[in-house]
Amino acid sequence: MKTAFVSGATAGIGEATVRTLVASGWRCVATGRRAERLDALVADLGADKVHPAVFDVRDAEAMNAAIAALPEAFAGIDLLVNNAGLAQGLSPAQEANLANWQTMIDTNVTAMVTLTRLLLPTLIARKGAIVTIGSVAGNYVYPGGNVYAGSKAFANHFTLALRADLHGTGVRVTSIEPGMVETEFTLVRTGSQQASDDLYRGVNPMTADDIAMMVKWVAELPPHLNINRLEPMPVNQDFAGFRVARD
């Protein structure tokens, strides 16, 4: 039985990925800040299938301690799913809250590279796989995206750079860069359930389960195949058009 390490597993894509992988015969280390949600996953899926690791990904010391304390059955990581991430605020750069910017950088960039570096020796030894959940925001910017878009551009390209560095190791590396997925993302970003409902209304957006199935597909491909990047969108979403400001 193979083992996956899924960050940000208390909701959305992370939780769906744990459920999907366990249903396919994987064990999962599920991480997040909200212990009660991880406990619910364990109760639902079984302690032999899910190990909860409660920590804030921005706390490198806690992250390191959680990895060091993994039970033997969960210590052999075959798949890292870099899912933890967030967006805060929609203000233009000139009006943005610097604290929001720092939180996004700490979570989407610093925590991701720290976790990846900590698990790389195990992943190399086991010829495992890394799947990073990036975003189309890293490819197509939009007003108010500023640091979130920049952090996701970093995630997208860091993942491709890992692919180059891991040449010859047998480790597979994939960047999944979704468009609109209906999760808690907008609620966290805006603090408004109404704003979240308005954004997704009538769009028929992708779901967390949709992305989780892509993670599973990538993870279970034959070991000689690598998917470099995937960029899924709902049919009702497409690329942003150019804008022109007129005098």
Residue pLDDT, tens place only, 68-126 = 999 999 999 999 999 999 999 999 999 999 999 999 999 999 999 999 999 999 999 99
Is the pLDDT at 161 greater than 80? The verdict is: yes
186 is a domain residue:
no
The percent of residues above 90 in pLDDT, for the chain, comes to 86
126 is a domain residue:
yes
36 is a domain residue:
yes
Is the pLDDT at 23 greater than 80? The verdict is: yes
Among 140, 142, 148, 200, the one annotated catalytic: 148
What angle do helix axes 146-165 and 98-105 make, rounded to 10 degrees? 20
- Decide if 148 is catalytic: yes
Instruction: Give CA 43 to chain center in angstroms.
Output: 23
Q: How many CB atoms lie within 10 A of CB 194?
A: 9
Q: Range of 143's domain?
A: 3-179+207-230
The pLDDT value given to residue 174: 98
Average pLDDT across the chain, whole number: 95
Is the pLDDT at 234 greater than 80? The verdict is: yes
pTM for the full predicted model: 0.94
45 is a domain residue:
yes
Mean pLDDT along residues 43-71: 97
Total domains in the chain come to: 1
245 is a domain residue:
no
68 is a domain residue:
yes
123 is a domain residue:
yes
195 is a domain residue:
no
Q: State the Cα–Cα distance between residues 155 and 195, nearest whole angstrom.
A: 26
- Using an 8 Å Cβ cutoff, are 76 and 122 in contact? yes
The pLDDT value given to residue 86: 93
Which CATH number goes with the domain that contains 214?
3.40.50.720
